[in-house]
Structure 1
């Protein structure tokens, strides 16, 4: 197994995943300890904050999470009194999700903390490394989009 880990340490996709997992764990520890929120709940709050009321379908599209996860997190955050869901007046099959008063206050704190947390993370990097990371992450995202397009074109 040691050999495999050694090989993985020099494999860029693994390096990206490993770095993302380390950031996610630190991020989740911070928000779990301070607000009792998981990363998916935090993501949901950040999408909802400036955009509510919003349908569950729109939440799936905006957050990148699947509909089952969205549904679970809506339920959990509703139990905490942070969100509420109600049927749309135009289409009773559509559930619109919005923040409660408590949720709005929490969102304001989360928004402020997100900026602070980002600065704390990047303060340990030299300024040129920060710019380089942003640029390289954009390049990786663009390359992945191109790969997805190629995959879709090659599917029957």
Structure 2
């Protein structure tokens, strides 16, 4: 578990990153022990579940992960028998990714488990704080999107 750096403990961007790292570590430990999945593999499963077959390009766009990581994780999940790939019939250059029967069964479990994992986490939060944190995280995400759009504006 990452430890707090005292100099930064009251700096909001650091606090968010630290909380996210702790959450990710806990999340990954849970899914690694239970399903032998990493966080990126879990994320791919959650994108693929309701939308397969899907191209690797669409996976990059939807998951927010880079194409090298997606390609690597697809190979690993294919080796586990969870995914399979095939060429698109209309455009042979496009590789489509789908869940196997085993992968679909796993997706159903992961989807159900995600809700219970979230409830387990929020059980440790005071009741009034649960909705407030959702709203605050949404507000922070919106502010970050605005900052990112400013960075993309052409410089004069």
Structure 2, unaligned stretches of length 5 or more? none
Distance 1:32 1:139 in 2: 31
- Secondary structure at the aligned position of 1:98 is classed as strand
Paired residue total: 153
Structure 1 residue 6, shift from structure 2 partner:
1.9
Distance 2:82 2:28 in 1: 18
- Secondary structure at the aligned position of 2:40 is classed as helix
Distance 1:10 1:83 in 2: 43
Cα deviation, 1:61-80, whole Å, max 9, x if unaligned, reads 11000000000000000000
Structure 1 residue 144, shift from structure 2 partner:
0.6
* Counterpart in the other structure of 2:82: 82
Cα deviation, 1:63-113, whole Å, max 9, x if unaligned, reads 000000000000000000000011000100000000000000000100010
* Counterpart in the other structure of 1:50: 50
* Counterpart in the other structure of 2:111: 111
Structure 1 residue 155, shift from structure 2 partner:
4.2
Structure 1, unaligned stretches of length 5 or more? none
Cα deviation, 1:22-44, whole Å, max 9, x if unaligned, reads 00000000000000000000000
* Counterpart in the other structure of 2:70: 70
Relative to the length of structure 2, the TM-score reads 0.95
Structure 1 residue 7, shift from structure 2 partner:
2.1
Relative to the length of structure 1, the TM-score reads 0.95
Distance 1:133 1:94 in 2: 41
Distance 1:67 1:60 in 2: 6
